[in-house]
Amino acid sequence: MAFPSIFALMALSLAGGQADQPRSFSSGRALSIEHDSLLFVLVHGSDWHPFGERLFGEVWQEKTFGEEMKGVLADVDILQVRDGAAKTAADARNKGWVKKGSGLQTYPAVLAYSAEGVLVGTCQGTDLPKDLAAAKRTLITFGETCARWKVLTNAIARASAVGDKAAELKGVVARATLGLERSATLLEDIKRLDPSDEAGNYARLSFPKWTTLVKQATDEAKAGKGDEAEQRLKGMLANNAYTSEQRCVIHLALGSAYRRWEGHAEQAALHFQAAAQADSNSVCGIAGRRLYLSLYGGPSLSLGWSKRHPVKAGTYWVIEDAPQDLEPGSYRLRLNRTRGKQLMITGAQLLSDGKVQIDLVQATTLTKASPTVEFTFTVSEALTKTSLRVLLNGGDAGTGTMSWIE
Amino acid sequence: MGGAESLVYLRDRICWPRPDYVKACWQAPYRSYNCLADSVQRPDYYMPFNGSYAAMPEMVIDVGGVCGALSNLGASAAIANGIPASTMGEPGHCAYTVKISDDEWKPAYSLSWKRSMHTSLFEATWQNLMLTEACFSDPERVAKSGDLSRKAFALEMDGDLEQAADCWRQALNAHGLHYGLWVEWAAFGERTDRDANWWRDYQTALLVGLKGHEEPAWTVLSKRVYPRLLAEMDDAEKLRVLLRWVRNLQNWGGGRWNIEGAWNWMFKQLGEDDQRKLVRVMSERLIESPDFGPPLVVWLLAKYSPDSEEGRDTLGLILKASGSGRDGAQSALKQLARTAMLDAAERGDVDTFQAIGKQASSLSEPLSMKGIEPFPGDLVSAGGLLQVSGRGNRWDSPENHWGILGEHGGRCHTNNGASFIAVRLEHHTEITGIVIQNLKGGQSWRATDSRIEISTDGESWEQIGSLEGNKRFYRLDLEGKYHRALWVRMAKDTNCLHVRRFLVWGHRRS
């Protein structure tokens, strides 16, 4: 194919210029237009940011780096001094680059632009390692992703030119999932190419930020429009297009709406738990679990016990988030009272599949003077579907913490 | 937000040129309630999200917070990148400060001069921070004075008190800006039960050594020196000692401080007759001072009603200081507005501007609010202050400035040429709308094409709109545009400007 060899030649010619002197934004832009290539701009601060300068000097200006990035390299130097000859010179050199809307969030940053001047993506902050070798590898990967963006953009244009909607749609979606900047017309394009959203792309890609969805539902419920929120969010759940992470957000939003809708505590608890199950390690999944435990669930290792947990004699607490499987070994359950006059405990039990395996009889009263008790479980063989109970003998409602130690 | 993981996160996420950290707090959204409608005042606000993020700052940036979280974020971001910073308490607010250059600390997200540092080497005042900065910028003198103070301690332990006393004097001569050593020297005086003359000499030395740092000087004097020095004096002697301090005042030094507290303290040491003498000397000495005049006038008017003898004396002094030759409370109030209130406005002293402005508003009738529909949120201009370019021009009437900011209505007029009328809001605000009420008449065209600009610090401005056409009321709907500001102004490069009202509505973000 002609394309890769032309590209290689171009990369060589671009890299050839790189070794001589660093290229300003405007000269990089001109070259990028001339060669129809990507432009990578390193934004750094020569008078205040040592790592940025090392990145600039030891990586950015390295001969082979330009070839590896497969594009034009330029830099913008943002000085810390606010006036003087150096500042004037830097401003003149940086002319053509505007900070507002550039995607710059922190320093140093690498911004990628298409030959048309569209921001393709950025690599900065926690995504850019502060070790030179790792930073170089990350930037090369970033360059490859941007190159893929260019290939897809060309493919989308070709498909559009011949009216191949399926190919165009495939390209648009593939480009949107690269993890780079979204096209300004992404949703509009998907709507045009797949009006009925058969593939579910529009649903997935138009999904709002989780805080927005949750706040909207919560505000509606608080305003007495819980049924509207319920209808809309249940409609979303009925759509199989959403990812498990997105479904987790919808459950959290529903749970929050129900929470603020009088008489719907049970539904709130269900949906908070559903959020936790849908995507247990995400922000919304963790929030769902913690909200369930805090507002509706029983005592837990995560949040302890609170005043709403009954302490009647002859009853017991089931610890909500006890480990499900246990290997042989010795384990300690520690309870520590933080508030309340006293809590009387008669013992603790470890169950497996609903059957008591270890029954510890240990009567104790937790008070301000003596707030802690520990139960030691010696497990001789592996257990599955385990649960923990704390046996109660009355006392006062209060608060406390629980921990499980191997 | 000072744990290791927080600092590493912030080092990467917010790594900016040094002066820019004063804006770092705005990386997080200001939300009194999180998206689950839990209040920031309760532990439920962050509880659902604990354990979900790499570090606390990431959570604050995603979930939000109010002034405490935002200021901690801003200060921590600076610190994570090796720039000194600290949070500070202000009335009902948490702000922060960043050392934006080798010798300058700048307040950030700040609303008031009434602040106390959350971290300090000596006292927790802003002025003491300035003094500490000045002191330790000369490490050689710090070392020299430190060596002498250690020698003084050693001499004292050996029982040689007079040599020790002399050594202390030398230590403070070597570096008069060392607050810690002034305190140690006073402690020496207390331990060794020095007499009134000793304390008098101490006062003399302190006033010289800490010249330009009046607030820290006052703290040492009021807490350590005067209780001993004034103890056995009669009122006349006390007055002489206190007036010595009053006459020593030059300017704010490290910044506006609670000098009213000092005046109140002095007042309590004296009987009625000497209180009057104190007030007379203070008035003569300070009323024309652009720094101390405005707060002195407000303090006096709060102490004495305008109808009382002291109140009339105060107004008389204002008139005399103004050289207006006129008579009466009305003239005095006008002069107050033209001098003290404008001084306060220039210095960003909202409280003094408001106090004098409200008084002066009694000189005019309120204007009707007909035709003005409010925007959502609070009328945040009402508790702020106004700055008008071309101070002292013959067309302006400063006694009407305060009314411009609220329902009372007022009037202002800039000088010819490039002009601005700027409002410093009561709080950092997400602006929902602005109404500017034009002057009626043939010159109303002057407002046309004025730029509307906003700023968070009163120094750098961003244009967000303009006034189109020749209208009686200009109404700018900014809801949903997320313009956040502490200052709003109208500005034009070609001619003077004049308005009757400049009203700003919005949601508080501090």
Is-same-fold flag (B139-286; B366-508)? Answer: no
What's the pLDDT at B298? 85
Mutation test of the interface with chain A: which of B8, B27, B36, B56, choosing the one with the most A Cβ atoms within 10 A?
B36
Q: B49–A287: do the CB atoms touch at under 8 Å?
A: yes
Cα–Cα distance between A346 and A313 in angstroms, integer? Answer: 9
Cis peptide preceding A108, ω within 30 of 0: yes
CA B10 to chain A, closest CA, distance in angstroms equals 9
For chain B, the structural domain boundaries read: 4-119, 139-286, 302-313+321-361, 366-508
- A79 within 8 A of A46, measured Cβ to Cβ: yes
- B302 φ/ψ angles, rounded to the nearest 5 degrees: -75, -35
- What is the pairing mode between strands A355-366 and A343-352? antiparallel
**Looking up tokens 């999180």, which residue turns up?**
B34
Q: What's the CATH code, domain B139-286?
A: 1.25.40
Which residues share a beta bridge with A332? A376, A405
- A118 within 8 A of A44, measured Cβ to Cβ: no
- B485 within 8 A of B423, measured Cβ to Cβ: no
CB atoms within 10 A of CB B443: 14
- What is the pairing mode between strands A72-77 and A39-44? parallel
CB burial of B149-169 (b: ≥16 within 10 Å; e: otherwise) equals bebbeebbeeeeeeebbebbb
CA A80 to chain B, closest CA, distance in angstroms equals 5
| A→B interface, C-beta within 8 Å | 45, 48-49, 78-80, 82, 105-108, 125-126, 128, 130, 210-212, 214-215, 218-219, 222, 256, 259-260, 282-283, 286-287, 290-291, 294
CB-nearest partner of A80 from B12, B18, B63: B18
Task: Mark the ranges of chain B whose per-residue pLDDT is less than 70.
Answer: 2, 306, 319-329
Chain A residues lying within 8 Å of B106, measured CB to CB? none
- A347 within 8 A of A362, measured Cβ to Cβ: yes
Which one-letter amino acid corresponds to residue B155?
Answer: L
- Output the six-digit token pair for A170: 């495939």
CB burial of A318-351 (b: ≥16 within 10 Å; e: otherwise) equals ebbbbeeebeeeebebbbebeebebbbbbbbbbb
- B249 within 8 A of B214, measured Cβ to Cβ: yes
Q: B49–A260: do the CB atoms touch at under 8 Å?
A: no
Give the residue with greater pLDDT, A94 vs B325: A94
In total, the C-beta contacts within 8 angstroms joining chain A to chain B are: 70
Give the least confident one: A150-159, A225-234, B231-240, B498-507: B231-240
Q: pLDDT of B370-382, one tens digit each? A: 989 999 999 999 9
CB-nearest partner of A106 from B15, B36, B52: B15
Chain A residues lying within 8 Å of B18, measured CB to CB? 48, 80
Q: Which of B143, B123, B92 is nearest to B383 (CA)?
A: B92
What's the pLDDT at A15? 45
Mutation test of the interface with chain B: which of A98, A104, A211, A399, choosing the one with the most B Cβ atoms within 10 A?
A211
Q: pLDDT of A290-316, one tens digit each? A: 999 999 999 999 999 999 999 999 999
What's the pLDDT at B306? 66
What's the pLDDT at A22? 83
User: Percentage of residues in chain A with pLDDT exceeding 70?
Assistant: 95
List of long-range contacts for A236-242, beta carbons under 8 Å, 24+ apart: A236/A203, A239/A200, A239/A203, A240/A200, A241/A197, A241/A199, A241/A200, A241/A201, A241/A203, A241/A204, A242/A200, A242/A203, A242/A204, A242/A207
- B255 φ/ψ angles, rounded to the nearest 5 degrees: 135, 160
- What is the pairing mode between strands B85-90 and A399-405? unpaired
ipTM of the complex: 0.89
Whole-number CA gyration radius for chain B? 26
CB-nearest partner of A125 from B12, B51, B52: B12
Q: pLDDT of A317-344, one tens digit each? A: 999 999 999 999 999 999 999 999 999 9
Q: What domains appear along chain A, each with residue ranges and CATH number?
A: 2-151 (3.40.30.10), 162-205 (no CATH), 210-295 (1.25.40.10), 316-405 (no CATH)
Q: Which CATH superfamily is domain B366-508 in?
A: Galactose-binding domain-like (2.60.120.260)
CB-nearest partner of A290 from B15, B37, B47: B47
- What is the pairing mode between strands B419-438 and B473-477? antiparallel
Q: B48–A48: do the CB atoms touch at under 8 Å?
A: no
Q: pLDDT of A107-138, one tens digit each? A: 999 999 999 999 999 999 999 999 999 999 99
Greatest Cα pair distance in chain B: 86
- B409 within 8 A of B367, measured Cβ to Cβ: yes
